[in-house]
Amino acid sequence: MKTWYIPDAYYPSSKNGEYVSHEAVCMLNTGSEDAEVRLTLYFEDREKLEGFFVTVPAERTIHCRMDKIRNQKGEGVPTDTPYAIKIESEKELTVQYTRVDTTQAQLAIATTIIS
């Protein structure tokens, strides 16, 4: 099992004009088989959220928008709450996390690659 961690995730609820804050976990699978990926969310003050699954097709990339993903119970990512993400896959992936923050007029984007 391959594991990646994103310790500083945060999905702001704000909107600045036509721009909506969001996050994405982008995953690249250069292998010849699909990768089944499990995401677990951890919080400072509540129990973890489990049951988030995505498939990254062979030789493809996906951009998993954290404001759109739901777990098996239909729960989504809470807004305005710091959290961390654990990503697990049997296949090797390249993982990138990006946050678009529209809480200020200047807007902001942050990104990092976790190999």
Per-residue tokens: 44: 């400072």
Render the burial of 102-112: b for 16+ CB within 10 Å, e for the rest: beeeeeeeeee
Residue 105 confidence (pLDDT) = 67
Residues in the chain: 115
Least confident of 17-26, 66-75, 101-110: 101-110
Q: Give the C-alpha separation, 25 to 99, whole Å.
A: 9
- Whether residue 19 is predicted with pLDDT greater than 80 in this model: the reply is no
DSSP state of 74: S
Identity of residue 8: D
Query: How does pLDDT run across 1-15, given as a tens digit for each residue?
Result: 999 999 999 887 766
Domains and CATH numbers, the chain: 2-114 (2.60.290.11)
H-helix or E-strand spanning residue 82: strand 82-89
Query: How does pLDDT run across 65-95, given as a tens digit for each residue?
Result: 998 999 999 999 998 899 999 999 999 999 9
